[in-house]
């Protein structure tokens, strides 16, 4: 029987939502991870330190199953952010980073950034105070094909941001293309990238061929097989520039299976087992720890967790629940297109 022991992982990108969802979702994350970067795209986005601190208190209340758990809060970048409030919140460890959503690019991003140059004063202050910038790297432009929006963002926006703010610590989040992998590999800037489990596993044909699979729909949208392969080699790379952010993004099943289905995949409850299987299938199991437990902490200059987790390979494939129920809501659990034999030991 095969067993592995690795440093306890962190989730560098998660959506907890609000209200009823928190009680169920937060403990699912906190039992698996010691830290999680929490996305600010709530119905009313987190734009001030007061909101962040209120939200953080709620998350801490629901994460008592792990005394070490630390929700790392983000502020939603827009032109109106109060720079003094931001700096104070960062110094007081209320917030950890700032999140850039191009306006309209994804769920709850309508109040995001329309013109990046109008946020330059904020980015300048972030540079000085060493506050990381997390980026949803897609342009929102009708002229640009949805499959090209990451590349165009890199060419038109990210290159500019990197040039103006060479010292800014940047995470290009949930990358989906070979182009993004090459950009990150080739840059000498303080720029790294996160990758989701589902983008390592699926390509756009998995979502679209023969029948349409709304539960594989997420943003940035799945790309070609050659892109998926490039993401895999990035995840296996020893250069430590790539790390896991689950982008676990729950939506009620009714809002996924609809005329206008929401983007987002919920993968919290099986992401570690699923990734162990992906890495093993590619004979890269020895790189799993770097990807889920080391590289992100190095990028954010945080200590590695001192706890460990153990995974055991079992004979029969593991069945995960199909849905997570929260009162009248149902959240579909990510189902990869292969069998999982790795079990997490409690
Ligand atoms: C996320 C969500 O639902 O909040 N959706 C997604 O498809 N990833 C937003 C995001 O991270 O883009
Ligand atoms: Zn996200």
Selecting among 61, 148, 247, 252, the annotated active-site residue is 247
- Rounded to 10 deg, the angle between the 83-91 and 49-62 helix axes is 30
> How many angstroms separate the Cα of 245 from the Cα of each of 13, 150, 178?
4, 17, 18
**Residue 229: strand pairing partners:** none
CATH domain 3-344 topology: TIM Barrel (3.20.20)
282, pLDDT greater than 70 = yes
Query: Which position has the token pair 């009162």?
Result: 327
pLDDT tens-digit map of 159-197: 999 999 999 999 999 999 999 999 999 998 899 999 999
Dihedrals phi, psi of 13, to nearest 5 degrees: -170, 110
At 61, list the tokens: 């209340």
Element (H, E) at 274: helix 271-281
Integer Cα distance of 337 and 215 in angstroms: 12
What is residue 293's DSSP assignment? I
Q: Domain spans of the chain?
A: 3-344
Instruction: Please report the pLDDT score of residue 346 as a whole number.
Output: 76
Mean confidence (pLDDT) of the chain: 97
| 10 within 8 A of 33, measured Cβ to Cβ | yes
Ligand 2: centre distance to CA 260 (Å):
18
| 277 within 8 A of 233, measured Cβ to Cβ | no
Integer Cα distance of 173 and 136 in angstroms: 6
Instruction: Please report the pLDDT score of residue 1 as a whole number.
Output: 58
Q: In this predicted model, which residue has the larger pLDDT, 1 or 215?
A: 215
Residues with CB under 5 A from ligand 2 (ion): 247
Element (H, E) at 299: helix 295-299
Q: Which of 100, 249, 334 to mutate to test the pocket of ligand 1 (most atoms within 8 A of CB)?
A: 249
Question: Could you give the percent of the chain with pLDDT greater than 90?
Answer: 98
Cβ neighbours of residue 320 closer than 8 Å, sequence gap 6 or more: 269, 270, 273, 333, 335, 340
First to last CA, the chain: 17
pLDDT tens-digit map of 148-169: 999 999 999 999 999 999 999 9
User: Minimum-distance ligand to the CA of 106?
Assistant: 1
Instruction: List all residues whose CB is within 6 A of at least one atom of ligand 1.
Output: 15, 41, 106-107, 136, 218-219, 247, 249, 263-264
Question: Could you give the percent of the chain with pLDDT greater than 70?
Answer: 100
Judge if the upstream peptide bond of residue 11 is cis by omega within 30 degrees of 0. no
Sort residue 341 into left (φ over 0), alpha (ψ -120 to 50) or beta: alpha
């Amino acid at each position: 029987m095969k067993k592995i022991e690795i440093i306890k992982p962190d989730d560098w990108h998660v959506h907890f939502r609000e209200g009823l969802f928190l009680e169920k979702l937060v403990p699912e994350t906190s039992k698996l991870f010691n830290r999680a970067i929490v996305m600010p795209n709530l119905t009313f986005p987190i734009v001030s330190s007061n909101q962040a601190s209120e939200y953080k208190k709620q998350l801490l209340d629901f994460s008592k199953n792990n005394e070490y758990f630390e929700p790392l809060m983000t502020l939603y970048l827009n032109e109106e952010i109060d720079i003094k409030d931001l700096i104070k919140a960062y110094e007081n460890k209320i917030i950890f980073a700032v999140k850039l959503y191009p306006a309209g690019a994804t769920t709850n991003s309508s109040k995001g950034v329309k013109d990046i140059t109008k946020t330059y004063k904020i980015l300048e202050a972030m540079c000085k105070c060493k506050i990381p910038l997390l980026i949803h790297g897609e342009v929102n432009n009708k002229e640009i094909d949805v499959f090209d929006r990451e590349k165009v963002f890199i060419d038109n926006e990210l290159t500019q941001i990197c040039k103006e703010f060479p010292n800014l610590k940047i995470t290009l989040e949930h990358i989906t293309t070979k182009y993004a992998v090459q950009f990150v590999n080739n840059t000498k800037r303080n720029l790294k990238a996160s990758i989701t489990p589902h983008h390592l596993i699926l390509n756009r044909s998995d979502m679209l061929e023969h029948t349409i699979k709304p539960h594989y729909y997420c943003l940035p949208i799945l790309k070609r097989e050659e892109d998926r392969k490039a993401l895999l080699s990035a995840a296996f790379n020893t250069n430590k520039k790539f790390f896991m952010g689950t982008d676990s993004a729950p939506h009620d099943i009714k809002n996924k299976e609809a005329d206008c289905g929401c983007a987002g995949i919920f993968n919290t409850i099986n992401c570690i087992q699923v990734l162990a299987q992906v890495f093993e299938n590619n004979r890269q199991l020895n790189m799993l720890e770097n990807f889920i437990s080391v590289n992100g902490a190095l990028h954010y200059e945080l200590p590695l967790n001192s706890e460990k987790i153990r995974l055991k390979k079992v004979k029969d494939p593991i069945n995960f629940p199909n849905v997570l129920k929260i009162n009248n809501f149902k959240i579909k659990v990510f189902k990869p297109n292969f069998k999982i034999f790795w079990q997490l030991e409690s």
